[in-house]
Amino acid sequence: MSHTPEHETDTIYQSDQGQVADFTFDQAVARVFPDMIKRSVPGYAETVAMSGVIAGRYAQPGSNLYDLGCSLGAVTLAMRHGIHNKVADCRIIAIDNSQSMVERAGHYVALDEADFVADAAPVELACADICQYPLVNASVTALNFVLQFIPLEQRLALLSRIAAATLPGGALILSEKICFDDQEQRLQTDLHHDFKRANGYSDLEIAQKRSAIENVLIPESENVHIERLKAAGFSKVIRWYQCFNFVSFLAVK
C-alpha cells in the first residue's frame, strides 16, 4: 500500500549559514518542497490547476504529454485529471534530473492510481536531463519554473526541440520568474518579499534564499521569453497568468 511522503515545514534557511551554498534540488529540498513552493511562489496553485485545464483543451488523441522538470509531479497529475474522459490514448511523461524528486513523485502517482479510475492516462517517470531526453509526438508540454534554471545559452535549443516535437495545434505551458526595468523590478521584488513574509518567512530566510538562488536562477524579461518562443517555432504566444514577478505563457504551434 502506498503512503504519502512526509511533508516537512521549510526551515532550510532559518539559521544563519554564513557562506550560503548555491541552491540545489536535493533530498532536503524534496522533503520540504510543497511547503517551500507554496510559501515562495505566488500563484503556484493556480498555475498547477490551470495547466490541467489547458491540457484538457490542447491534448490530442494518441499523443504524449510532457512535464519537464516535474519535481513532485503536481502538474503531471493536474494534466492527467485535465484530459480524463476528453482525450483517448494519451501518455504522460514526467522528467526531472533530481532522483529525490522523481522518487517522491512516484509515490504521488501511485496514490493517484489507487484513487483514480482504471482508464486514466499512464504516467512514465524518468530521472534524466530534459535538455537531452528525446521528445516526440507531443501535444502538450509543461515547463513550469524550470527554464530559469537552464543556462542561458541552452534555452533556445531546448525550446526549439520542444517545438519540433510538438504536433500542429499543440501547446507549451511555460511558467517563469521574470525581470523588469529597474523601477518596476524594485517594486515587484518588494511585493514578492512581502508575500514571503506574509507566509511566515523571516528576513534572514528571505536573504539567505536569495543568496542561494541568485547564481542558479537567472530570470529574463517577458519580451525575451515571447520572442524566443516564436524563434523556437511557436506561432502564437500569450501571457495567460501573472502574479507579481511570476508569469505563465501559453505558446501554440
CA pseudo-torsion sign 192, 194, 200, 204: positive
Q: Is 215 one of the annotated binding-site residues?
A: no
Q: Is 248 one of the annotated binding-site residues?
A: no
Q: Is 10 one of the annotated binding-site residues?
A: no
Q: Are 161 and 233 in contact (CB under 8 A)?
A: no
Q: Is 82 one of the annotated binding-site residues?
A: no
Q: Is 71 one of the annotated binding-site residues?
A: yes
Q: Is 210 one of the annotated binding-site residues?
A: yes
The strands making up 123-127's β-sheet, listed across from edge to edge, are 123-127, 91-96, 64-68, 138-144, 166-177, 246-252, 236-243
Q: Is 243 one of the annotated binding-site residues?
A: no
CA dist list (Å): 159 to 8, 42, 101, 148, 155: 34, 25, 23, 12, 6
Q: How far is residue 62's CA from residue 138's CA, in Å, rounded to a whole number?
A: 9
Q: Are 49 and 173 in contact (CB under 8 A)?
A: no
Q: Is 96 one of the annotated binding-site residues?
A: yes
Residues whose CB is less than 8 angstroms from the CB of residue 103 and which lie 6 or more positions away in sequence, other chains included:
30
Q: Which contiguous run of DSSP H or E holds residue 112? A: helix 99-115
Residue positions forming the annotated binding site for S-adenosyl-L-methionine:
44, 69-71, 96-97, 129-130, 144, 210
Residue positions forming the annotated binding site:
44, 69-71, 96-97, 129-130, 144, 210
